[in-house]
Structure 1
Amino acid sequence: MMNDNLLVELLTEELPPKSLDKLGNAFAASVVESLRNQHLATPDTTLTVFASPRRLALYLTAITNQAPDQAVTLKLMPVAIGLDEQGQPTAALRKKLAALGVENISVTALKRVQDGKAEMLLLEQSVTGVLLATGLQKAVDEAVRQLPVPKVMTYQLADGWENVHFVRPVHGLIALHGSRIVPIRAFGFAAGNMTRGHRFEAKQDVLVIDHADHYALLLETEGAVIPGFDRRRNRIREGLEAAARAAQLQCLDDAALLDEVTALVEQPNILMGTFPTDFLEVPQECLISTMKINQKYFPLLDQAGRLTNRFLIVSNSTPSDPSQIIAGNERVIRSRLADAKFFFDHDRKRTLADRLPELDKVIYHHQLGSQGLRTRYVRALARMIARLLGDEALSVQADQAALLAKTDLLTDMVGEFPELQGIMGRYYAQFEGIDETIAFAIEDHYKPRFAGDVLPRSQAGVCVALADKLETLISLFSIGQLPTGDKDPYALRRHALGIIRILIEKNLPIGLDELIVGAARVLGDSSVVGEQGTEAHHARPVTPELTTQLLDFFFDRLASNLRDQGYTAQEVEAVLYLRPSLLCEIPRRLAAVRAFAALPEAASLAAANKRVGNILKKSEFDAAAGIDETCLQAPAEITLYQALSGIESDARQAFDKGDYVTALQILATLKTPVDAFFDQVMVNDENEALRRNRLALLAALQATMNRVADISRLAA
């Protein structure tokens, strides 16, 4: 068997830029996994992925031309079915062996193995290793079929008869094992060793790849294509940074834009353009959005982070005189920025308040009514949250911000650039002279928009952000629009995590259950929004079961987020099992649990706590029963009672002050008396009075130990 390096390439029309990297990695990973499963890859095999605008390719080292023979054991049937009383094969066994092509095999060559209660007949045979051509054909077919493409194209092959479905039309196939062509087919093409380079700058129209090892070098030197996605992205990043540095400016850092541009060019060339400074009167977010979204340009900022009138172009060609390319891009950007300036000037001819009646004509959800109705509910929720924070003046600010929060959805600028919603509301509010706190709350009520995003700056922004997210969650839960699996079309998981982050990171003294129950009461009462005519039926009815479902959803998201932050599953479960109402306490509780778990006494106390829980679950114990000191007889139970009484006050005081580390560390002194109690005392004594009293002692012990967290969850 011969090992050599393998190259596979699909040459296509221009692939979707936003998914190119994902497509390239998925195609390569699927092929290499299949080859490994077929034993065509060796332990030394390494993978290199190539993905450019017109190709998906992979390069694998140490691929064998035929897999080694494999010993295979086949389970045939129970002995009682396969052999008759004389030990001869039955008709069923003969039929099975014939189907496997071994009808002449002797019964004595079959192996007998006990499988549960039945004795089974097994056939051991050697299977010839698969040839590379066969295995690679299977691997490519599987990879094409499994490619993560949300929407495929349908096109005809060259024969004019057969239709195929793929992300883009395919124009060529390479399969090279070293210098030898592997005879496979895909999309009507037989594999060859020819590809194409850059549409305009390749030195020759067709490139012949003489060996798999020469692919990347030939494409780059002769075809003017950098085939590796990561290498191309690094080249672009370095070029952008160098151009910005030369101009003493800084390039806008945008990973998504960098990936998209990397997927659009094959041989990047960085150029700089300018536009008239008059356009800088428009909010820089508008200009940046039109440059990024419409033109894929990289805006340049000064050292203070302000937008300048210069930008960087990633061109897909390298002419000796780039002035025409630069001039053409400058003409285009002037038109785009003129549109943005027109939208900005036109929008400011009307106030945000003037747009309020139009929200009643915008459908939010066909089961939930209009954006106007939703605004009224969000206002009511924002007022409620502000009052929970104990500030009537804050309630007025939150109400005003919530009233205007959605009005910029009706502006031309947001209609053109939806990602500017909130931001434009803030600019227009400032232009009208509206209080800065309210203006920034309009922008901030969408925050956090994504993982790692900043939180609202003011308390008014916090109130409206919580109200907006709560309304979305509760309303959609009330009509059964819950996330399922990886599908979350309304981003409810993100909304829940946003609420969690605000409550924790803003250290808000509002209980999650208090917040949800209060919000459910507001949303379930249509009268809070006044007379709304035909929209009255859009009140959000919230049942107690739905409230419980929402709390479960929040704590599931919180648990997942905490594990992502590096807390162990045991630490998270210990704290969240108690369902603490104030989420702002959770980081301190987790820190206390981690400190407690590091104590030498922790493992023993956690195990004892778990044992206590199991005993109390199995008993018919009256939780209201107290400890009767006169019933304490055994020395070990008296010692435990005294030790527990000795620390109870200090532990409670530490807990009430929020000193959770101390509250848990105090428990370390209980290890010796707890161990002695379980070694020397029979809890379920025949004497009912003794039994009940000992159960009461254990209940008091459990309550003291589990005040901060359920430490039994730390038991191995």
Structure 2
Amino acid sequence: MTSRNLLVELLVEELPPKSLKQLGNSFAELLTASLKAQDLVSKEAQATAYASPRRLAVHITHVAAQAADKAIAQKLMPATVGLDEQGRATPPLLKKLASLGADASVVPQLKRVMEGKTETLFWDSTVKGTPLTEGLQKALEEAIGQLPIPKVMTYQLADGWSSVNFVRPVHVLIALHGADIVPINILGLQAGRETQGHRFEAKVNPIVLHNADSYAQQLAAEGTVIASFAERRAEIARQLAVAATRENLTPVDDDALLDEVTALVEHPNVLVGTFAAEFLQVPQECLILTMKANQKYFPLLDAQGKLANKFLLVSNIQPTDPSLVIGGNERVVHSRLADAQFFFDQDRKKTLASRVPELDKVVYHNELGMQGKRMHYVRAIAKMIGEQLGGNTLAAQAYEAATLAKADLLTDMVGEFPELQGIMGRYYAQHEDLSDDVAFAIEDHYKPRFSGDALPRNSVGIYVALADKLETLVNMFGIGKIPTGDKDPFALRRHALGVIRILIEKNLLLKLNVLIQQVIKIIYDPVIEDQWSQSFYKSNVGEKTVARGTRIRAVPEGLSEQLLAFIYERLAGSLREQGYSAQEVDAVLSLNPQNLSDIPKRLAAVRAFAALPEAVSLAAANKRVGNILKKSEGGISDAVNTDLLQEPAEQALYQTLTSLSSKTKEAFDSGDYTASLQILAALKSPVDTFFDHVMVNVEDESLRNNRLALLAQLHQIMNRVADLSKLAS
């Protein structure tokens, strides 16, 4: 069969820039996969995706004009059904053969195969390979139907009556197999070889493609278009670096912005613009976000990371005199930055504290009430954590920071740019001369916002961040808003991971189960509920008091256990992602250690223990001991009666346990978990000898119970740091 390269292009109106990269890759992957499934493309074939604002295309190598014929064995029916007593075809068999394009003449060629106790008829036939025209038509229809399109457009075709659905209207379809047009149609279009170049700078329009392989070269030379998304992105990055170097500055590093700009231009031209230096008095986060979000500019930073009053813009045209393009963009950015300056100036006319009562009018959740009520709980939790970890001074600062933490949600700046929540709170707090501890806590209490994000930079921020996340988890679990599958609308998995990271990385000596119980007590405490109610009604209704206990909530059954299990599940996943094996993680977490800051040390100890030559034997023995103890009936004594130790092997094991017990406990209590486990290596020989020579479940009850007590001591000593049985294969 003839094998040549294939090109397929859809020329469309401007595609959504944030989706273009994914659309281009998906189009290429889906089309190629379908052709491979039809045996029109070899496994070694290479597919190259092309995606620009106005086109989706793919170039695939080694595509056959027709798939090879395929020999297959068609299962027909049981022989007793298909053949009569004389071996002639029955009507059901003839009907089946007719549906396959055969007749009674093939009956002598049928094979009889035993399937269990049934003899079945099979027909060896050849299925003709799929022609490229048919296969490509199917592949294109499947690819278009499966594209990850966030929102489909319905538009009319040229006849004025018919309508089709796609992400944007399609104007041209190209399908070339080598130099030949593949006669397919889709979305009301017939395949051809003519496409369009750049809207304004194309040297030739339309562009008549010579063959599938000339696509990218002709678009570049005749259409002034860089068709490849990756090549266009690399060219923009190169031009940005060159332009920034000329100014002795560095462009803001933002991959998402670079992707979006790449999806907006077909032939990039980077230019340098300037804005008034007076705008630099506005926090640079505001200016940077304004330029990036609204104008898709690349702000420039100096060597100290401070914003300069220059920016880079990526134009889609290359005029002889770029001053008009630069001037127009400078006028637009001036208006944008003036708006930001206005918001900043207006916001500073009111203190954060004066905005706090307005949070009682901001809905947090329809079942939980207002944001003001939520923060009433958060500041109580932050104060409680502060008292335990930092004393009264830090507790008071945590209370103040938690009180003000959400006040910036009511500012004009955050209303315009929600991404600046917390950041603007910090600036406004500093403007009011609040302490840096409180100001940075207001910004940092959202952290970590995403995987790999930094943690709060000071103790006050840590307390408020913990309080904010724990309140969300407890309250949401309390009303049954538990993540299921891939649905997590309230980002509870992220909140749980934030709690885990803060407890571990900041080495906080807080027991998780106790901490959750304390938070539950605060949130479901009717006294704290009443405190907020009195304040709310006094501020919003004018009444001085309201009946106590107007809304006393009962703690949902099993709330603490459910939340603990959820956090441990997130912790296990996080540890496995960090490179710990499932066995290591299970060994440590099986004990449900409540001090999460200990977990890295426990994991390191388990890994070191597993490397010992005695580890395999001891892990297996530990598993055996655990199984014996589980099956034992009645209570097991805490003490071993030495007078009942009759066998030398059990005497030796008891003596070894006695000598090692204090050593392992001392190492464990000091936090040296590695040493605590390393000491256990001395148990291998006496444990092996014990199981070789001692019967535990003997008929003599006193002997049996004494040996169970000995094993219980062994089990307790071995499993202080982790459940070593989890290491047994």
TM-score class normalised by the smaller sequence = over 0.9
Alignment correspondent of 1:527:
527
User: How far apart in 2 are the matches of 1:635 and 1:83?
Assistant: 79
1:47-62 equivalence runs, <5 A: 47-62=47-62
Q: Is the 8 A contact 2:79 2:112 kept in 1?
A: no
SS of the residue 2:658 aligns to: helix
Deviation at 1:87, TM superposition (A): 7.3
Q: Which amino acid aligns with 2:517?
A: V
More off after superposition, 669-678 vs 439-448 = 669-678
Written as runs of structure 1 = structure 2, the 5 A alignment for 1:94-133 is 96-102=96-102, 104=104, 105-106=106-107, 109-114=110-115, 122-133=122-133
Q: Which amino acid aligns with 1:35?
A: L
1:44 aligns with 2:44: yes
Aligned to 2:643: 630
Alignment-derived partner of residue 210 in structure 1:
210
1:448-478 residue CA offsets vs partner (Å, 9 max, x unmatched): 1111111111111111111111112222222
Residue 409 of structure 1 aligns with which residue?
Answer: 409
Alignment partners' CA distance in 2, 1:126 and 1:672: 68
Residue by residue over 1:73-102, the C-alpha shift from the partner in whole angstroms, topping out at 9 and shown as x without a partner, is 455556676677887777666655554444
1:674 is matched with which residue: 687, 705, 726? 687
Is 2:582 aligned against 1:581? no
2:544 corresponding residue in structure 1? none
- Aligned residues of 2:268 and 2:314 also touching (Cα < 8 A): yes
Q: Which range is displaced more, 621-630 or 349-358? A: 621-630
Say whether the 8 Å CA contact 1:578–1:710 is kept in structure 2. yes
Equivalent residues of 2:637, 2:706 under 8 A apart: no
Query: Alignment RMSD, CA only?
Result: 2.3
After TM superposition, the structure 1 = structure 2 runs for residues 212-611 of structure 1, keeping only pairs within 5 Å, are: 212-529=212-529, 530-532=531-533, 541-611=554-624
User: In structure 1, how many angstroms separate the alpha carbons of the residues matched to 2:123 and 2:726?
Assistant: 48
Cα distance in 1 for residues equivalent to 2:463 and 2:645: 54
Residue 127 of structure 1 deviates from its aligned partner by 2.1
How many Å apart are 1:423 and its aligned residue?
0.5
Range 519-528 or range 246-255, more displaced: 519-528
Q: How far is the alpha carbon of 1:390 from its aligned partner?
A: 5.0
Task: Work out the CA distance in 2 between the residues paired with 1:107 and 1:701.
Answer: 75
- Cα contact 1:7–1:60 (8 A) shared by 2: yes
Q: 1:361 to 1:696 in 2, by over 3 A?
A: same
Letter of the 1:532 counterpart? S
Quick one: distance in 1 between partners of 2:175 and 2:187?
14
CA contact (8 A) 2:28 2:49 kept: yes
Q: List per-residue Cα deviations over 1:42-66 (Å, max 9, x = no partner).
A: 1321121111111111111112222
Instruction: Report the alpha carbon displacement of residue 38 of structure 1 after superposing the two structures with TM.
Output: 1.7
Q: Structure 1 residues 101 and 672 mapped into 2: Cα distance closer, same or farther (>3 Å)?
A: farther
Q: Take 2:484 and 2:86, find their aligned partners in 1: how far apart are those partners? A: 58
Q: 372-381 vs 84-93, which deviates more?
A: 84-93
Please say if residues 655 and 663 of structure 1, whose CA atoms lie closer than 8 Å, have aligned partners that are also in contact: yes
1:687 is displaced (CA, Å) by 3.2
User: What is the rounded CA distance, in whole Å, between the counterparts of 2:484 and 2:713 in structure 1?
Assistant: 42
Shift of 1:319: 1.3
The answer as to 2:660 corresponding to 1:647 is yes
- Write the distance in 1 (CA, Å) between the matches of 2:71 and 2:598: 59
**Structure 2 letter corresponding to 1:472:** T
Q: 1:539 to 1:301 in 2, by over 3 A?
A: farther
Q: State whether residues 110 and 121 of structure 2, in contact with CA within 8 Å, keep that contact through their aligned partners in structure 1.
A: no
For the 8 Å contact 1:111–1:124, the answer to whether it is kept is no
CA change 1:424–1:367 in 2 (3 A) is same
Deviation at 1:148, TM superposition (A): 1.2
Paired residues of 2:203 and 2:223 also in contact (CA < 8 A):
yes
Using the TM superposition, give the Cα deviation of residue 269 of structure 1 relative to its aligned residue in structure 2, in angstroms.
Answer: 0.9
Residue pair 1:369, 1:538 contacting (<8 A) in 2 also: no
Secondary structure of the residue aligned to 1:532 is helix
SS at match of 2:337: helix
Cα distance, 1:622–1:80 mapped onto 2, change above 3 Å: farther
Change (3 A) 1:304 1:614: same
Could you tell me which amino acid in structure 2 is paired with residue 597 of structure 1? A
Q: Distance in 2 between matches of 1:539 and 1:118?
A: 71
Task: Find the aligned partners of 2:10 and 2:658 in 1 and give their Cα distance.
Answer: 76
Count of residue pairs the alignment pairs up? 715
Deviations 1:117-168 (A, max 9, x none): 7666555433222222222222221111111122211112222222222211
What is the Cα deviation at residue 607 of structure 1?
2.3
Counterparts of 1:64-213 in structure 2, within 5 Å, are: 64-76=64-76, 96-102=96-102, 104=104, 105-106=106-107, 109-114=110-115, 122-213=122-213
Aligned to 1:165, the other structure's residue is in SS state strand
Give the Cα separation in 1 of the matches to 2:154 and 2:79. Answer: 53
SS at the partner of 1:59?
strand
Comparing 16-25 with 343-352, which one deviates more in the overlay? 16-25
CA–CA distance in 1 between the matches of 2:517 and 2:38?
57
Q: Is the 8 A contact 2:3 2:62 kept in 1?
A: yes
Name the CA distance, whole Å, in 2 between partners of 1:714 and 1:136: 53
- The answer for unaligned runs of 5 or more in structure 2 is 538-548
Using the alignment, how far apart are the partners of 1:54 and 1:119 within structure 2? 60
Change in CA separation of 1:126 and 1:703 when aligned onto 2, cut-off 3 Å: farther
- State the one-letter code of the partner of 1:372: G
What secondary structure sits across from 2:558 in the alignment?
helix
Displacement of 1:677 after TM fit?
Answer: 2.8
Letter in 1 for 2:654: Y
Unpaired segments ≥5 residues, structure 1: none
Query: 8 Å contact 1:523–1:539 — kept in the other structure?
Result: no
Q: State the secondary structure of the residue aligned to 2:300.
A: strand
CA distance change for structure 1 residues 208 and 613 in 2, over 3 Å: closer, same or farther? farther
| Mapped pair 1:685 → 2:686 | no
Task: Say whether residues 1:704 and 2:717 are aligned partners.
Answer: yes
Normalising to structure 1: TM-score of the pair? 0.95
Whole-Å Cα distance in 1 between the matches of residues 79 and 566 of structure 2? 52
Evaluate the alpha carbon distance shift between residue 539 and residue 234 of structure 1 in structure 2; reply closer, same or farther with a 3 A threshold. farther
Task: Give the counterpart letter for 2:571 in structure 1.
Answer: L
Structure 2 equivalent of residue 5 of structure 1: 5
**Corresponding residue of 1:617:** 630
The residue type paired with residue 601 of structure 2 is R
Question: Helix, strand or coil for the counterpart of 1:279?
Answer: helix
CA distance in 1, matches of 2:316, 2:127: 51
Match for 1:564: what amino acid? E
Q: C-alpha separation between the residues in 1 aligned to 2:650 and 2:123?
A: 65
**1:239–1:270 contact (8 Å) kept in structure 2:** yes
The alignment partner of 1:40 has SS state of coil
Residues 643 and 81 of structure 1, relative CA distance in 2, 3 Å threshold: farther
- Measure the CA separation in 2 of the matches of 1:125 and 1:471: 68
How far apart, in 1, do the equivalents of 2:74 and 2:699 lie?
59
Larger mean Cα displacement after TM superposition, 219-228 or 522-531: 522-531
Aligned letter for 1:679? D
